[in-house]
């Protein structure tokens, strides 16, 4: 029974659950970014270049027997995905910094009743 108990504690730890959620969300985000790259950005950027080369698809590029088009498409996809993630993280970090700056503002000190009374006494003595 010790093995099952240990496995249950391991599998239900917060870190493992957080990692599982991150992997699932990462896969979904990956599909969105891949679609953006393949269906929107790559055709917009490469369409004029491919037309000049007389190609319909980037993956058709070759140099003799070496077909480097797929590799080039993968490199372009990687660069665009990396740029998209960079911009996303940069935006999230700027929002986080704004929240930290707002939270860092010092709050007015809270005085106890005794301190308030002592300040009132001090102020009244100064007026005399």
What is the DSSP code (8-state) at residue 58?
Answer: G
Residues across the chain: 128
14-36 and 69-104 helices cross at what angle (nearest 10)? 130
Per the structure block, which two tokens stand in for 127? 């007026």
Per the structure block, which two tokens stand in for 106? 């010092």
* Domain count of the fold of the chain: 1
Digitized pLDDT (tens) for each residue of the chain, 128 residues in all? 688 888 888 777 767 778 888 889 888 888 887 787 778 877 787 777 778 877 777 777 778 888 888 888 788 878 877 887 788 889 888 888 887 776 666 667 788 888 888 898 999 999 98
**Domain enclosing residue 66, as ranges:** 2-127
- Asked whether the whole model's pTM tops 0.75, one would answer no
């Amino acid at each position: 029974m010790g093995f099952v108990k240990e496995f249950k504690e391991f599998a239900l730890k917060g870190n493992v659950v957080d990692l599982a959620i991150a992997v699932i969300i990462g896969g979904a985000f990956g599909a969105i970014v891949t679609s953006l790259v393949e269906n929107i950005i790559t055709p917009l950027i490469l369409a004029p270049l491919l037309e000049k080369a007389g190609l319909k698809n980037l993956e058709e590029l070759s140099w003799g027997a070496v077909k480097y088009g797929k590799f080039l498409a993968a490199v372009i996809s990687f660069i665009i995905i990396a740029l998209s993630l960079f911009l996303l993280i940069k935006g999230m970090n700027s929002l986080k910094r704004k929240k930290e700056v707002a939270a860092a503002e010092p709050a007015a000190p809270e005085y106890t009743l005794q301190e308030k009374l002592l300040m009132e006494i001090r102020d009244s003595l100064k007026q005399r």
